Homo-oligomer: A and B are copies of this chain.
């Protein structure tokens, strides 16, 4: 089961609405179950460097089927996954990436958001996830 473009559009719209409500400019990426890009939007004036980060957060969340921030807990110096960021051409392991599940709980893709604090990035990503879960 794969996320559809219609679902991805819905998630991006919800994330954009939440970003506007919070007065933020975000980059928002959606990948499918194969971790391949499905949809992307950069809000006017959002950080250029966050284009890449939003996509990496979405991929990272699907690569390990967990929120990116969870992975980041274990990748710190001394942690069990220290410097896992070197794999897969470069991971991003701070918050803002979240897996997307269908009604039955199966993972069908992931969302990645970048453009503000990691707390805001996560909040906006969560809005995208809620829109289609």
A residues sitting closer than 8 Å to B (CB atoms) are 2, 4-5, 8-9, 32-44, 47-53, 56, 60, 62-65, 72, 75-78, 80-94, 117-118
Contact among B8, B87, B92 with A87 in the assembled complex (CB-CB below 8 Å): B92
Q: Assess whether A62 is in contact with B48, with CB atoms less than 8 Å apart.
A: yes
Count of chain copies: 4
- Do B87 and A93 touch (CB < 8 A)? no
- Contact between B87 and A52 (Cβ–Cβ < 8 Å)? yes
Subset of 8 A-B contacts with CB under 8 Å? A34-B36, A35-B36, A36-B48, A38-B41, A40-B40, A49-B87, A50-B64, A53-B87
Asked if A87 and B56 make an inter-chain contact with CB atoms under 8 angstroms apart, the answer reads yes
A92 to B85, CA, bound (A): 9
Known interface pairs A43-B5, A53-B87, A87-B90; A78-B76 also in contact (CB < 8 Å): yes
Measured in the bound complex, the distance between the Cα atoms of B49 and A119 in whole Å is 24
